[in-house]
Structure 1
Amino acid sequence: MAHFLGEFECKLDVKGRMMIPSGLKKQLPEAEKEGLVINRGFEKHLVIYTRKEWEKIVEDLSKLNSYEKKTREFIRYFTRGASELSLDAAGRVLLPKNLQEYAGITTEVVLACQFNKIEVWAQEAYDTQLDNEPENFARLAEEVMGGGRRGADE
């Protein structure tokens, strides 16, 4: 499984295309051949997955009980708007207009790597998200990562 690293600021051109930064492109060697998948995130942002990672997610979704209404709703909302992305000869991807609108993306974008995915945020929304950092980040870390897990300091 790929683990991406970094945070990149980008701009969309007038056609909605985004140049993949070279530092990120190096982490996506299979992207030109296999493509990428972009989808809505849980907050008002987008998420880019490698094709292999998306296939793992779809495999997990296919194992859920589709006879349960909550499951059907989750799958429907989770996969809504999922689209393939292809790099053009210049190393750009075209972000679908409906997904740009969902995430409030106009021109300035932040690509925030998170393990096996890349979050795509409107710059202003990303800055707002980070401005709302918990007052006591150490307490949040303890609540989320505590409970017998090894810490980063060990």
Structure 2
Amino acid sequence: MVGQEYDRPVSPNPASERDPEPLQPLPLLLGTYTPKMDAKGRLALPAKFRNRLGAGLVMARGQERCVYLLPADEFRRIAVRIQRTSMGDRSAREYLRVFLSGAVDQEPDKQGRILVPPMLREYAHLDQSVVVIGVGTRAEIWDQESWQTYLASKEQGYSDIADDVLPAVDF
């Protein structure tokens, strides 16, 4: 019937029509924190991140040798998008293998601690001194020295590319 056409939700984003999962805003993870990792690889999540990451989260290899912390829903969304890429695309296959083979489900304990598996600690060169940063819909765990080096190397570029990356916004 004609009237029923108007009852369907209208998607403002054509890309969402290709994604079967509804787009729901995820809480933003923001800031920089410096918790200590213990000898067993346990790390207390920043209090502000605990509820935002949810009861279950996924840890995975990140770019630039960090560890991603993703809410389970966000991880699933990313994995589905990568898997939709053609199996004939060698780069997509290789990325998917590395990304998913390094992913681990986690549930923080009652103190809000997570266990960073040895494989991910080795990958990101993590020891006691770590930095946890919020990067929007994910958090990242960095070795503290690596983070400081990375941040210092990107500072000038951060200023230089602001006009290209940011939309025309009045600050």
What is the count of residue pairs matched by the alignment? Answer: 146
What is the CA deviation profile of residues 115-149 of structure 1, one whole-angstrom value per residue up to 9, with x for unaligned ones? 1000110111011111213436432212323xxx3
What whole-Å deviation, never above 9, does each CA across 1:21-57 have from its counterpart, x for those lacking one?
A: 22322433xx22xx10001111111100000111111
Q: Percent identity?
A: 29
Instruction: State whether residues 35 and 44 of structure 2, in contact with CA within 8 Å, keep that contact through their aligned partners in structure 1.
Output: yes
Q: TM-score, normalised by structure 1?
A: 0.86
Q: Which has the higher strand share?
A: 1
Q: CA RMSD in A?
A: 1.6
Post-superposition Cα deviations, 1:79-136, rounded to whole Å, max 9, x if no partner, equal 2311111111222100010100000001111111011000110111011111213436
Rg: which structure is higher?
2
**Which stretches in structure 1 are left out of the alignment for 5+ residues?**
none
- SS of aligned partner of 2:105: strand
Q: Unaligned stretches of 5+ in structure 2?
A: 1-25
Alignment correspondent of 1:17 = 42
Change (3 A) 1:71 1:133: closer
Q: In the aligned structure 2, how far is the partner of 1:53 from the partner of 1:11?
A: 26
Q: What is the TM-score of this pair, normalised by structure 2?
A: 0.78
- Secondary structure of the residue that 1:14 maps to in structure 2? coil
2:133 to 96, 104, 112: 112
Match of 1:151 in 2: 169
Higher share in helix:
2
Q: 2:18 aligns to what?
A: none
Kept after mapping to 2: 8 A contact 1:6/1:24: no
Conservation of the 8 A alpha-carbon contact between 1:134 and 1:140: no
1:121 is aligned, of 142, 149, 165, to 142
Opposite residue 20 of structure 1, the aligned amino acid is L
